[in-house]
Each structure stands twice: as structure tokens, then as C-alpha cells.
């Protein structure tokens, strides 16, 4: 009896959110491949623990799911150097999504090489810079790997998050609270939490801040101030109020106290091909940024972060 030929493997950058949840069965349907999910734990806390995320990926159709704790490396090798440089996009956006992508892609390539995969896949759309961050890192680390980008693939027939939700319902894919009424797309880590979609796509409409998870509104912040002293060594934060802390512990503390006091609430709109309302904090706390909507082209088009 002839031995059954094994299917080619694809490693997907997986978050458990709407897009990557439906990409698992979509890849299997359209590429007849084995899908291996990889999730980077950067402090987003979208699931109770790694096991819950792994279970969801497997139930959705992945053959394996790697969940790696990369929080320390993320802060020490990506966030702190950015803080030392004082780097901010257009003097506002604190690069929360931007500098996480190369780290995710780095370990995705490692897993692809370990598993003998022929391709890597991501859920970034074709209109922003995330696709570039992922794909340039793939190409730099292993140019032999093929790249599958569903949102740019002719086989991908979804045009909105509503379409994706319908597909998930048809395939009985759990969405952890995402619905057509609660349709925000989120991207989070220890450094920030961003939102887009829903009412945020329409600057003329007022939103009710129902999407906030880590920071209070000004109305709910306490009237009494908290005083925090951050100690630095060689440009890196190393202590809070004189107490030495590791990078992860330190930022988790700042996020907690900053969120309580409504830190991370500065809005702006950019005149470019996408309108943004960005919420970012200039201190070491969580910063949520960028809700984008395609509008009329401007006279000097440029990409948004």
C-alpha cells in the first residue's frame, strides 16, 4: 500500500482574533495544506492563558499551535531602544504595533524552519504598513520561504469584517465576543492597545469609549494624583519609586497606575489617505493608537503607521 503523501506546511502568525481565526480554515480550503499556528505572547492578555489560545487554534483546524512568551525580549530589545531614541511617528504615535511585527516574524521563521514549512502567512491587510513589516522580515531571515498574504490573495473573497464574521459563523469558529455590534479590531501588547473598525471608521460619529480595556476616561479618573518616580540606567527604565524591577514587571506596574489615572488619551487626526484618531501616552504606559478609514486622497499621499 502506497504511503500517503503528507501535506505541505504553512506557519501562520496567529492571534486568535477575527482575521487569523478564519485564515486557518481558509488556508486549508484554498491551499490544501497543514496549518501550524504561532502566537507571540507580548502581554496582550487576550486569552486567560496560553492553553486557551492553543485550544482555540486546534479546534479551528490548526495541527499545532506554538505560544512563546516574548515579553522580556520585546521590551529590552525593541521597546527600550525606541524609548532611548525618543522615536515617535509624526511626533505622536509610539510605534506600538510597528516594532512588534519584526519580533513576531523572527520567531515565525524559526518555527517554519523547525517544522520544514514551505510558507509563512500573516493576516495583515494590503493597505497598511504591517504587511511590509512582516514580509521584509521574512525575506531578510529566509528568502526561500513563500509568503501567503490572504488579504492580497485573489482567492480571498472577504471585503469587510462583517464578511469575516459570516464565514466564522458558517464554520462554527468562536470569536471571543467579536460580533457585528462589537466589531472593533484590536492589536495589543505591553506597550499599547490599538483599535479600529466600527464607529471609529467615521470621524463625524461620536464613540462611547466602550472599547477601552486598560485605561479609564478622564471622567472616571481619580481626583487625587499618584506620584511615580522612574529610575533609569543607560537610558533604560529600571526602577519605580526606588524599587528595582525587571522590564516586564516595571511596565505592567506603569500600565496599571497609568490606566487608573486616564493616561494614554491624546487624540489626533492625520491628513493622509487614511484618517486616524490616535490615543497615545508620552509616558511608559499603554498607548492605544490608530483607527483608520480610507477617505479622499490627499495632495501629498503618504502611508500611515
Backbone phi, then psi, for 166, in 5-degree steps?
-65, -40
101 catalytic per annotation = yes
Q: Which of 21, 185, 290, 291 is catalytic?
A: 185
Q: Which of 19, 41, 187, 194 is catalytic?
A: 19
- pLDDT at residue 220 in the model: 82
- pLDDT at residue 187 in the model: 78
19 catalytic per annotation = yes
- pLDDT at residue 300 in the model: 39
Q: Which of 21, 41, 130, 280 is catalytic?
A: 130
84 catalytic per annotation = no
**pLDDT tens digit string along 97-154?**
899 999 999 999 999 999 999 999 999 988 888 999 999 999 999 999 999 999 999 9
295 catalytic per annotation = no
C-alpha–C-alpha distance, residues 297 and 299, integer Å: 7
Asked if 93 contacts 280 with a C-beta cutoff of 8 angstroms, the reply is: yes
Asked if 123 contacts 19 with a C-beta cutoff of 8 angstroms, the reply is: yes
Positive or negative: CA dihedral 71, 116, 9, 59: negative
Positions of the chain with pLDDT lower than 70, given as ranges = 1-5, 183-185, 195, 197, 210-211, 213, 264-305
The segment(s) of the chain belonging to CATH 3.40.50.620 are: 9-170
Q: Which residues, at least 6 apart from 145, have a Cβ–Cβ distance to it below 8 Å?
A: 109, 112, 117, 118, 119, 120, 138
- pLDDT at residue 161 in the model: 87
What 222-225 contacts at long range (C-beta under 8 Å, 24+ apart), as own/partner pairs, is 222/260, 222/261, 225/261
Pairing of strands 146-148, 119-121: parallel
Architecture of the domain delimited by 9-170: 3-Layer(aba) Sandwich (3.40)
- pLDDT at residue 62 in the model: 97
Asked if 238 contacts 253 with a C-beta cutoff of 8 angstroms, the reply is: no
- pLDDT at residue 299 in the model: 39
C-alpha–C-alpha distance, residues 184 and 302, integer Å: 24
pTM of the model: 0.81
Backbone phi, then psi, for 56, in 5-degree steps?
-65, -45
Q: Which of 21, 98, 101, 133 is catalytic?
A: 101
- pLDDT at residue 184 in the model: 66
Q: Three-class SS string for the chain? A: CCCCCCCCEEEEECCCCHHHHHHHHHHHHHHCCEEEEEEEECCCCCCCCHHHHHHHHHHHCCCEEEEEECHHHHHHHHHHHHHHHCCCECCCECCCCHHHHHHHHHHHHHHHHHHCCCEEECCCCCCCCHHHHHHHHHHHHCCCCEEECHHHCCCCCCCCHHHHHHHHHHCCCCCCCCCCCCCCEEEECCCEEEEECHHHHCCCCCCCCCCCCCCCCHHHCCCCCCCCCEEEECCEEEEECCEECCHHHHHHHHHHHHHHCCCCCCCCCCCCCEEECCCCCCCCCCECCCCEEECCCCCCCCCCC
The segment(s) of the chain belonging to CATH 3.90.1260.10 are: 185-294
Q: Which residues, at least 6 apart from 98, have a Cβ–Cβ distance to it below 8 Å?
A: 89, 129, 133, 305
Does the domain at residues 185-294 carry the CATH identifier 3.90.1260.10?
yes
Amino acid at each position: 500500500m502506497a504511503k500517503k503523501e503528507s501535506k505541505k506546511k504553512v506557519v501562520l502568525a496567529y492571534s486568535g482574533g477575527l482575521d487569523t481565526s478564519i485564515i486557518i480554515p481558509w488556508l486549508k480550503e484554498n491551499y490544501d495544506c497543514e496549518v501550524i499556528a504561532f502566537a507571540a505572547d507580548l502581554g496582550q492578555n487576550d486569552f486567560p492563558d496560553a492553553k486557551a489560545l492553543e485550544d482555540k487554534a486546534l479546534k479551528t483546524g490548526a495541527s499545532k499551535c506554538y505560544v512563546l512568551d516574548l515579553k522580556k525580549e520585546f521590551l529590552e530589545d525593541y521597546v527600550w531602544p525606541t524609548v532611548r531614541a525618543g522615536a515617535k511617528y509624526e511626533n505622536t504615535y509610539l510605534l506600538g504595533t510597528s516594532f512588534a511585527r519584526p519580533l513576531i516574524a523572527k520567531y515565525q521563521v524559526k518555527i517554519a524552519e523547525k517544522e520544514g514549512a514551505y510558507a509563512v502567512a500573516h493576516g495583515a491587510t494590503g493597505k497598511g504598513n504591517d504587511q511590509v513589516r512582516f514580509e521584509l522580515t521574512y525575506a531578510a531571515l529566509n528568502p526561500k520561504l513563500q509568503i501567503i498574504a490572504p488579504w492580497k490573495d485573489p482567492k480571498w473573497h472577504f471585503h469587510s469584517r462583517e464578511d469575516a464574521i459570516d464565514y466564522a459563523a458558517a464554520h462554527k469558529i468562536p470569536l471571543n465576543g467579536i460580533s457585528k455590534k462589537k466589531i472593533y479590531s484590536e492589536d495589543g501588547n505591553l506597550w499599547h492597545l490599538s483599535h479600529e473598525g466600527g464607529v471609529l471608521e467615521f470621524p463625524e460619529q461620536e464613540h462611547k469609549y466602550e472599547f477601552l480595556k486598560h485605561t479609564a476616561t478622564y471622567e472616571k479618573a481619580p481626583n487625587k494624583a499618584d506620584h511615580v518616580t522612574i529610575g533609569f540606567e543607560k537610558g533604560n527604565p529600571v526602577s519605580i519609586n526606588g524599587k528595582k524591577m525587571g522590564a516586564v514587571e516595571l511596565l505592567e506596574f506603569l500600565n496599571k497606575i497609568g490606566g487608573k489615572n486616564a493616561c494614554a488619551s491624546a487624540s489626533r487626526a492625520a491628513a493622509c489617505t487614511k484618517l486616524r484618531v490616535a490615543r497615545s501616552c508620552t509616558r511608559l504606559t499603554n498607548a492605544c493608537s490608530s483607527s483608520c478609514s480610507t477617505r479622499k486622497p490627499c495632495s501629498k499621499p503618504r502611508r500611515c503607521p
